[in-house]
A and B are shown apart, each in its own frame.
Chain A
């Protein structure tokens, strides 16, 4: 079956660093996406990884290990506005996104 696992909720402090992990098992693999979703809003694209390694984009970085079926999203210099849900999604062999349940990130001052 197809499965995406990520923690339900995480808490971090403003200015700190947090890593959100995601493991996936899907039928075929065409890449791993991370989206940010604020409450009541649609998801917004953060990153896309299809090759192993780390992709850095400002305060956000995303890592992929295809052999381990594992990815993480790293958020640095956390700001209060980073409080949101972070969704991990795998693009399967049919180019369909398989979504994780999302990780709710709570930032405390």
Chain B
């Protein structure tokens, strides 16, 4: 149990376009979902925390108008990278928790390349 999926697993887009990444909890209801970004050879960097039905909480330095997060249901959260630029190229990973805040289940990640 406790499976989290992400779609797409990789995407290439042109500079200036927008990309949407989906994160789904397949067999549990996720009260909280987290979005991370990871650059090569660096650790995970938390971008934002989202709870179902409420606005996401963004970490300092993360532009909320550029990285739009929607957590419309207990099983789905989406991250939209608007007007993507090459510096947004990264590995984006979501994770989810159910009732127990001690267990975070990670999705497989989405590799975004902006050309």
In the complex, A75 has a CB within 8 A of chain B = no
Q: Which residues of A contact B91 (CB under 8 A)?
A: 40
Question: C-beta contact mask, A86-107 vs B, less than 8 Å → 1, else 0?
Answer: 0100010001110111100000
CB pair A41–B109 under 8 Å, yes or no, is yes
Chain A interface mostly = loop
A45 and B103 alpha carbons, distance in the complex (Å) = 9
In the complex, B84 has a CB within 8 A of chain A = no
Q: Which residues of A contact B45 (CB under 8 A)?
A: 99
CB pair B43–A102 under 8 Å, yes or no, is yes
A21 to chain B, nearest CB (A): 16
Contacting A101 at CB < 8 Å: which of B34, B42, B46?
B42
Would you list which residues of chain B between 76 and 114 have a CB under 8 Å from chain A? 91, 93, 101-104, 106-109, 111
Which range contains the number of A residues in contact with the other chain? 10 to 19
CB pair B49–A42 under 8 Å, yes or no, is no
Chain A residues engaging chain B, CB cutoff 8 angstroms: 30-31, 40-45, 48, 50, 87, 91, 95-97, 99-102
What 7 A-B pairs have minimum CB-CB distances, sorted nearest first?
Answer: A95-B101, A101-B43, A42-B109, A42-B106, A99-B43, A99-B44, A42-B93
Chain B residues engaging chain A, CB cutoff 8 angstroms: 34, 42-46, 49, 91, 93, 101-104, 106-109, 111
Further 16 A-B residue pairs, CB within 8 A, beyond A45-B106, A95-B101, A99-B43 = A31-B102, A40-B91, A40-B109, A42-B108, A42-B109, A45-B103, A48-B102, A50-B102, A87-B44, A91-B101, A97-B46, A97-B104, A99-B44, A100-B43, A101-B43, A102-B43
